[in-house]
Amino acid sequence: MRSCFFAVLMCICTYVSAQTDNAVSDNKNFPLLLTKNAEASLLQHLSDSIYNLIGLNNYGLEKEAFFYACKGYQYLISKGSIRKKNILTICDYSQSGNNKRLYVIDLLNNTVLFNTFVSHGKNSGDEFATSFSNVDNSNKSSLGFLVTDDTYRGVAGYSLRFNGMEAGINDHVRSRYIVLHGSKFVNEEVVEARGRIGRSLGCPAVPLESRTEIIDAIKGGSCFYIYNPAPWYTHTSRILNAKLEDSPSKLSTIRQRNSPEPLVSLTK
């Protein structure tokens, strides 16, 4: 039971990738992701099921944030961008910095591996992150979908590099040196003493004591989603705005032959 949802999700992603070259879109700005009929919602239903199974509401994560994360995860797998497919990390910048708003989720076993504090950029806001950037030296956080890469030891100690997956939104994270690292100012004791955790120069910094475990769990090509319902982002992200389209004849054919293939298609 614990691994069945992951198996279904991976089937969806595999089928999406296989159909990429054959799908047709009438909107060249956004890719085609799901057929609208399959209760438009093959993915919505699946993400809701995983959300409920894990009990993510008990951790304070909104269902919308998890659905968007699953949609982007599927998209990135279809593009061949994800190597570590069982891990999905969500950094929820809609929440107060005083909350444990970082979620590292094991999709294979439907468990939360880590739920802890994470910083935002000092120019993104005080307790809440409200302003985001892709610009060098802005000292702001970026939004959207990233893929974890390699590790190194630098000024902040053991750290993890990212690759930004959204042009114009976060594709400068590498040149901006936006990395995941540990900080002694990001923990519950600092919240109690100062009223909020420390902020960064744009990096998602985590508690120093759990830095190594978190980095080792997510490094090497997993999906890392930085969420905030900022209208400019939700309206411009190519991933979140993947267009839905009806395909009743295809659905009928698949259902008649009782095929296990997910009802999904995606354009380049």
Nearest to 146 by CA among 108, 94, 89: 89
Residue 5 pLDDT grade (very low, low, confident, very high; cuts 50, 70, 90): low
Give the whole-angstrom CA distance, residue 143 versus residue 133. 8
The reported pLDDT for the residue numbered 16 is 44
| Mean predicted confidence (pLDDT) in 234-256 | 58
Is it true that domain 4-256 has CATH number 2.40.440.10? yes
Nearest to 85 by CA among 107, 53, 69, 113: 107
Residue 241 pLDDT grade (very low, low, confident, very high; cuts 50, 70, 90): confident
Residue 88 pLDDT grade (very low, low, confident, very high; cuts 50, 70, 90): very high
pLDDT tens-digit map of 145-188:
999 999 999 999 999 999 999 999 999 999 999 999 999 999 99
Residue 60 is given by DSSP the state T
Residue 258 pLDDT grade (very low, low, confident, very high; cuts 50, 70, 90): very low
Tokens 């100062």 sit on residue: 194
Dihedral sign, Cα of residue 11, residue 12, residue 18, residue 19? positive
**In the numeric block, which tokens belong to residue 40?**
């438009």
Residue 263 is given by DSSP the state S
Q: Which residue has the higher pLDDT, 258 or 188?
A: 188
**Domain boundaries of the chain, sorted by first residue:** 4-256
Nearest to 158 by CA among 83, 214, 114, 198: 214
The reported pLDDT for the residue numbered 18 is 44
The reported pLDDT for the residue numbered 44 is 87
Residue 242 is given by DSSP the state P
Dihedral sign, Cα of residue 150, residue 168, residue 204, residue 200? positive
Residue 183: phi, psi to the nearest 5? Answer: -150, 140
Reply yes or no on whether the pLDDT at 249 is more than 50.
no
Reply yes or no on whether the pLDDT at 60 is more than 50.
yes
Residue 229: phi, psi to the nearest 5? Answer: -80, 35
Query: Side-chain half-sphere of 144: how many Cα atoms within 13 Å?
Result: 30
Sequence length of the chain is: 268
Q: Are strands 243-245 and 223-227 parallel, antiparallel or unpaired?
A: unpaired
What percent of the chain has pLDDT above 70?
75
Give the whole-angstrom CA distance, residue 97 versus residue 113. 20
Helix (H, G, I), strand (E, B) or coil at 136: coil
Reply yes or no on whether the pLDDT at 256 is more than 50.
no
Residue 54 is given by DSSP the state H
Residue 97 is given by DSSP the state T
Q: Give the residues across from 200 on adjacent strands.
A: 121
pLDDT tens-digit map of 90-147:
999 999 999 999 999 999 999 999 999 999 999 999 999 999 999 999 999 999 999 9
The reported pLDDT for the residue numbered 242 is 72
Q: Are strands 182-183 and 144-154 parallel, antiparallel or unpaired?
A: unpaired
Residue 3 pLDDT grade (very low, low, confident, very high; cuts 50, 70, 90): low
pLDDT tens-digit map of 190-219:
999 999 999 999 999 999 999 999 999 999
